[in-house]
Amino acid sequence: MAEDVAGLSFAPGFITLTDTGGRRTRYAVADILRALDIPAGLTYEQIGAITALANLNVVLVRTLIARGVLDEQFMDEGDYDLATIVQTIEDMGGNFVEPDLTVT
């Protein structure tokens, strides 16, 4: 029972419970978790798509600037400027100078 547990430790792939008598019981994590317990997240295959999306935003921003729709201030209050947008795009793997939409 829970009140008999004196310790809890972790090792790769295992949880070990130690009771008040010093006995240890090791449980495999794979036996405890279900696939539904593990959140679906970003896969390796999706990383290229994020880079392509960042580069698509580059094309959009550069086109809007070239057509005079945007200037180097992006928000009414001046919250974002071009340098901030460029840094964000590059942090996502994009390239503001030479955007590549074929990255997958």
Identify whether 101 is part of a domain: no
Q: What is the DSSP string of 4-68?
A: GEEEEEEETTEEEEEETTS-EEEEEHHHH--GGGSPP---HHHHHHHHHHHHHHHHHHHHHHHTT
Using the predicted structure, report yes or no on whether residue 25 has a pLDDT greater than 80.
yes
Please check whether residues 27 and 49 belong to one and the same domain. no
Answer yes or no: do 50 and 86 share one domain.
Answer: yes
Looking at the fold, whether 31 and 61 belong to one and the same domain comes out as no
Which pLDDT does position 59 carry in this prediction? 92
**Mean of the per-residue pLDDT values for the chain?**
82
In a domain, 96, yes or no: no
For 48-75, what is the mean pLDDT? 84
Are 29 and 53 in the same domain?
no
The confidence score (pLDDT) of residue 38 equals 66
Residue 3 has pLDDT above 80, yes or no: no
Global pTM reads 0.54
Domain range for residue 49?
44-91
pLDDT in tens, 27-43: 888 877 777 766 677 77
What domain count does the chain have?
A: 2
